[in-house]
Structures are given as C-alpha cells and as structure tokens.
Amino acid sequence: MLGACQIQSNAYKVLALHHPDRLFTALIDHETESNLIFGLSMQSEIFSVQRPINKPFRFRGKKYLLCRPLAELLHDTTAKAELWTQGLKPLYGL
C-alpha cells in the first residue's frame, strides 16, 4: 500500500513496538512528517490522544494515522480497503 502512495523508502521508518508504554518515547525519537501507527493505542499515563482508526489527524505539528494491527489487515480485505480509502488516500492527498 505504501508503494501505491508513491512514498520513497527513505521517507518513512518502520518501528516494531511490543510494549505500548514505549510509544511516546518512540514517537519523539523517530517521528516523521507522516506517521502510521499499527495496532497500538496512543493512550498512556503521560498523554491521551483519542482518535478513530483510519482517520488522519495532526499532533504536535505532524500527521498521524492510527491503523488496525498488521496481522488483522493481512487477511481482512474490508479493513485494507478502509485503510486505503479513509486513511492513506486522505493522509497523502491521493
């Protein structure tokens, strides 16, 4: 899907977080202009961002998109279509 968005491979980073409590630190250390977060909640004791899945939003001057877990997207064509039409297309202006 990222290929269809015509995003250069050096324009994004892929981070695998297994502990949601490390999300805030990872965002500060690795955020880019547009950030896709798969399968993690942006809720912690430090901050709370309550946003729906597949709806791009701005946070601290950067673009974010909360997405379903990758394992769920792998087999669910409806979830993939929703990610594409509601999330990625608006996020990247396609």
Please report where in the chains the tokens 């297994």 appear, as a residue.
Answer: 18
pTM (2 d.p.):
0.77
The C-alpha atoms of residue 15 and residue 23 are separated, in whole angstroms, by 10
Distance in angstroms (rounded) separating the CA atoms of residues 12 and 77: 24
**Bridge partners of 64?**
35, 57
Amino acid at 33: E
Q: Any idea where the domains of the chain sit in the sequence?
A: 34-94
Amino acid at 4: A
Show the tokens assigned to 50.
Answer: 């309550």
pLDDT in tens, 56-78: 998 888 888 888 888 888 899 99
**pLDDT tens digits for range 20-62:** 677 777 777 877 888 888 877 655 554 456 778 899 998 888 8
Contact status, residue 56 vs residue 64, Cβ threshold 8 Å: yes
Interval 70-87 mean pLDDT: 92
